[in-house]
Amino acid sequence: MINEKKLIDYFRHMRHDWLNDVQLIKGYLSLENYHEVDRIIDQIITKAKNESKLSNLQVPILTTYIMTYNWLDHHLHLSFQVIGRNDNDLSKYDRKMVQVIKKTLRQFDKHVLKYKDNRMFLTFDVSQKKPIIIFDFTGEIENVKVIENSIHSSEMYGLVRFVEHYINETKANIVLELE
The pLDDT score that the predictor gives to residue 111 is 93
In tens, the pLDDT along 76-107 reads: 999 999 998 766 789 999 999 999 999 899 99
Helix, strand counts (H, E) of the chain? 5, 5
In tens, the pLDDT along 29-45 reads: 999 999 999 999 999 99
The pLDDT score that the predictor gives to residue 160 is 84
Which class for 135: exposed (0-12), middle (13-18), buried (19 or more C-beta within 10 A)? buried
Domains of the chain by range and CATH? 4-178 (3.30.565.30)
The pLDDT score that the predictor gives to residue 156 is 52
At residue 8 the predicted structure's pLDDT band, cuts being 50, 70 and 90, is confident
In tens, the pLDDT along 115-137 reads: 899 999 999 999 988 899 999 99
Pairing of strands 77-83, 119-125: parallel
Q: What's the pTM? A: 0.87
The pLDDT score that the predictor gives to residue 6 is 79
Residue 153 has pLDDT above 80, yes or no: no
Average pLDDT in the 41-67 region? 93
The overall average pLDDT reported for the chain is 90
Q: Using an 8 Å Cβ cutoff, are 86 and 51 in contact?
A: no
CA distance 82 to 46: 11
Residue 157 has pLDDT above 80, yes or no: no
- The residue that leads in pLDDT, 143 or 30, is 30
CA distance 96 to 115: 30
